[in-house]
Structure 1
Amino acid sequence: MSGRRYTDEYKAEAVKQVLEKGHSAAEVAARLGINKHSLYDWVQRARKQNPATVVSTVTHESSDAREMRRLRAELKRVTEERDIPKKAAAYFAKG
């Protein structure tokens, strides 16, 4: 254990990103540089303290909306991968 201490405001903001904004706990932990198990613990405590908040935030985004967001991100990635060889060929053709 590192013994690192976080303020209550810092913990609340990290938990808010997971519960209200829908980010995964692992993603938030990596971005903030904290242990993901600590964040999981903070999220569980928040859910026990106020279960009504969790229920309302989970229903904000339907599974269709999540799937649409995932598909758009995948399309963007695949389109960029497709365009890289075209741009490289055009660059080398000029030379």
Structure 2
Amino acid sequence: MNKKYPDEFKQEAVRQVIEKGHSVPDVAKRLGISDKSLYYWVSKAKVPASQSAEQEEIRKLKVELKRVTEERNILKEAAVYFASESKKSTRS
């Protein structure tokens, strides 16, 4: 039979494993839940944090890539401009 546990209960169980360093079997036994459920809650709690950090890093890198690409394009245009000016001045 599947029991429905309140979110606060799940969060506290996960916190005991992740933050306090207790073992999953230990916490599960103390709280009267299955190891399998607690392992699932812990894995679910760990994934979003790392994914969101990765997503934030990707977002920052995309912003920087856009800025660097724009700078490169400006420098390319400046190089073309100065090269053409240089040719004009050497013809005189």
TM (normalized to structure 1)? 0.51
Tell me which structure has the larger Cα radius of gyration: 2
The root-mean-square deviation of aligned C-alpha atoms, in Å, is 1.3
Q: Which runs of 5+ in 2 are unaligned?
A: 52-92
Q: Give TM-score, length-normalised by structure 2.
A: 0.53
Q: How many residues align?
A: 51
Higher relative contact order, chain-length normalized (CA < 8 Å, sep 6+): 1
CA–CA distance in structure 2, aligned partners of residues 48 and 29 of structure 1: 20
Gaps of 5+ in 1: 53-95
* Identity between Structure 1 and Structure 2 (%): 51
Please identify runs of 4+ aligned residues in structure 1 that moved more than 2 A.
none
1:51 to partner: Cα distance: 3.1
Q: Give the 5 Å matches for 1:9-88.
A: 9-51=8-50
**CA shift for structure 1 position 33:** 0.2
Indicate the structure with greater helix content. 2
Please give the alpha-carbon distance, in whole angstroms, between the structure 2 residues aligned to 1:51 and 1:12: 17
Is residue 3 of structure 2 the alignment partner of residue 4 of structure 1?
Answer: yes
Give the Cα–Cα distance (whole angstroms) in 2 for the partners of residues 29 and 3 of structure 1: 15
